[in-house]
Amino acid sequence: MHKPYAVVFPGQGSQKPGMGREVLDTSAQARRVFEEVSEAVGRDIAELCICADDETLRRTDNAQIALYATCVATYRATAVTRPPLALAGHSVGEYAALACASVFSVAEGAQLVERRGHLMAEAASQRPGTMAAILGLDDETTEATCAHVSAGNGVVVVANYNSPGQTVVSGDVNAVLSAMELLKQRGAKRFIQLNVSGAFHSPLMEDAARKMGEALSAASFNPPLIPVVSNVTANVEDGWANLLEQQLRLPVRWTQSVRRMGELGAVTFVECGPGEVLSGLIRRIDPEAVTVSAKDYRRQ
């Protein structure tokens, strides 16, 4: 018998060439999701996922819609006897969670994700920024260091609370580089500058968030059929138009979100999407949690 479980959906960085091929080959429901997404955004997303090279898929305006389609299709292809206790997605993965909870249709979610990807790419080109993963340092020290640097050298903030001892900082290039050096002096074991074009989940996304808010205000939102835990608050929420706007400029509270799903009773976490990035984070957040890919969960 399956134990109480939650389903999680990865965000940008998990994309890889060929993703989605297996569910497209084996599931009519998955194929229909890709058809709906492609029709909604006016381009062939299955072809993008399967045929595009790594560099093409890495582009923000491609990565986000490709991940959305793959994550929703994977969920639809996963036959379960009872619904999960909760859903959650990391950054853009939250849109997949909301579509799977029927907060909006697959097509409307696709249009929102397409708009989000373009706005974030545009913001990055207008004010280039960067992001860096910080390993082996507590959240409070990282937050204090970012505040210190931001007082005199551009903007840098914590963008992701990924797991205990692993955060991501985001902001102006010079500010991020300064923060990395200072964090090293303060005990960070390792830091990795990420291969991204923009400072996501930071104040540099303010204009993109405002424009995204306009698109969200015109969208239709339904009460979730399954509870969805928000990146912004790490709680089950329902005011999604406002939360999705805030999400662009505020941090992803993944550590707190996973703990919240545990409080709701989830002991197993099923990752719906390419790779196992979230599974690795979840095991560091809660060593007793069971993590499994959607593919393997279908076989149980």
Q: Which residues are catalytic?
A: 91, 201
Query: In angstroms, rounded to a whole number, what is the distance separating the alpha carbons of residues 187 and 189?
Result: 6
State both tokens at 267: 């002991």
Q: How far apart are CA 252 and CA 94, in angstroms?
A: 10
Gap between the Cα atoms of 162 and 119, Å rounded: 24
The CA distance from 158 to 170, in Å, is 6
DSSP E strands in the chain: the ranges are 5-9, 86-89, 129-135, 156-163, 166-172, 190-193, 268-271, 290-293
| CA separation for the pair 106, 101 (Å, rounded) | 10
64 within 8 A of 112, measured Cβ to Cβ: no
* CA distance linking residue 168 with residue 147, whole number of Å: 14
Residues 4, 91, 41, 47: what is their CA dihedral angle, to the nearest 10 degrees?
A: -80
> Where does residue 66 rank: exposed (0-12), middle (13-18), buried (19+ CB within 10 A)?
buried
The span from the CA of 23 to the CA of 21, in Å, is 6
* Helix residue spans in 78-187 (DSSP H): 93-100, 106-126, 139-150, 173-185
